[in-house]
Amino acid sequence: MYNHGEISWGPDDPDKRFLYLTRVDDNNFYRLDLQRQIIAVFSVKQGRFVEQGQGDGGPLYPLYMYPPAWLPDGSFVGHVPWYNPAPHYKLFRRIQ
């Protein structure tokens, strides 16, 4: 991973096991599992993080470079770039 992006911790992770990263160049949202030392990428199509394959961020399913707006239950709102068609925010609800 390179270039600019943002990092954040999720609200439902008091032990700080997962570090979340966004990247401006590929429009994907990543989760680093610091315990297992695995990088997962968020699949917008599947609505979850996947540990194999590629992310599907990009022009059709962007999440952009900003950290998500976290909700208390672990759901989040992803930011879509201004140059993409509206809506510019997408809600991803956590299912437990």
Position 58 scores a pLDDT of 66
Confirm if 59 and 25 have CB atoms less than 8 A apart.
Answer: no
For residue 80, give its domain range: 5-92
Element (H, E) at 43: strand 38-43
With bands split at pLDDT 50, 70 and 90, how would you rate the model's confidence at 62?
low
Give the number of domains in the chain.
1
With bands split at pLDDT 50, 70 and 90, how would you rate the model's confidence at 2?
low
pTM, to two decimals: 0.74
Q: What is the pLDDT of residues 3-57, one digit of tens each?
A: 677 788 887 788 999 998 887 777 788 899 999 999 998 887 887 889 987 777 6
**35 CB burial (10 A radius; 0-12, 13-18, 19+):** exposed
- Alpha carbon distance 28, 68 (integer Å): 12
Mean pLDDT over the full length of the chain = 79
